[in-house]
Amino acid sequence: MDQTILIVDDSPYIVDGLVALLKRKGFNSLASHGGDEALAILATTKADLILLDIMMEPMDGWETLEKIKANPATKDIPVLMFSAKKISPEEAQEHSLNIEDFVSKPVNPAQLLDAINRVFERRRDVGREVVVARDAGQDPVLIEEYSRLRKSIEVDTNLLAVLKRSSAINRPGSEVPAEDLAAISGLEEKIRADEMRLREINGKFTGTS
């Protein structure tokens, strides 16, 4: 295993712990203690995945994410957000296209490793599927849409689970804010629409539509 993972958090304790954990699991791990330092590292070092905390100062995780995605040299690096902060419906909707997953703190090592492996596995699977579609002469626009939908559905499904947990929608007797209910409903509708469109594209690829 030779993937390099950049860990970005302003807590040295958390960074040191995650660096040690990932090294034990065979990853190359890099430490960064803030957004500016992370951007400086990425200017000279290639990373295959970024673990990015939300609550940092002076540059928080969302601002750091925007700068990563605005740079052509780093925009394609997958980013996994993690934080003790409750992700808001607005943040979920605004940033879902730019992140691969969200893991809550305190970080459960098994859950974190599962999330990391899902990112790499999906990227490998989609990469193979794209090669097959290109070799078969499929429309490049459809291939691009297919890749986007594969990622979007998984990320949105994970974000939906996070929103449901944070809003306590499944807890009997709990009162869920109207904006949370609207965000959850909207995300569920988006996932259904994306899944339907993905099936349509698969049908075109296989000649069954």
| Domains identified in the chain and CATH numbers | 1-77 (3.40.50.2300), 108-209 (no CATH)
pLDDT, residue 206, reads: 80
3-state helix, strand, coil in the chain (%, to 5): 60, 10, 30
Q: What is the mean pLDDT of residues 69-84?
A: 92
Give just the sign of the alpha carbon dihedral 201, 161, 32, 63. positive
Is the peptide bond between 106 and the residue preceding it cis, with omega within 30 degrees of 0? yes
> CB within 8 A of 133, min separation 6: which ones?
142, 143, 146, 205
Question: The tokens 């949370």 sit on which residue?
Answer: 180
Q: Give the C-alpha separation, 57 to 34, whole Å.
A: 7
pLDDT, residue 74, reads: 96
pLDDT, residue 89, reads: 65
Contact between residue 32 and residue 41 where contact means Cβ atoms under 8 Å apart: yes
pLDDT, residue 164, reads: 81
Average pLDDT, rounded, for the chain: 88
Give how far the C-alpha of residue 77 lies from the chain's centroid of Cα atoms, to the nearest Å: 10
Query: Cβ of 57: how many Cβ atoms within 10 Å?
Result: 8
The pLDDT tens digits for 176-193 are 778 878 888 888 999 999
Could you tell me the pTM of the whole model? 0.84
CA distances 103 to 95, 107, 152, 182, Å, are: 14, 7, 17, 22
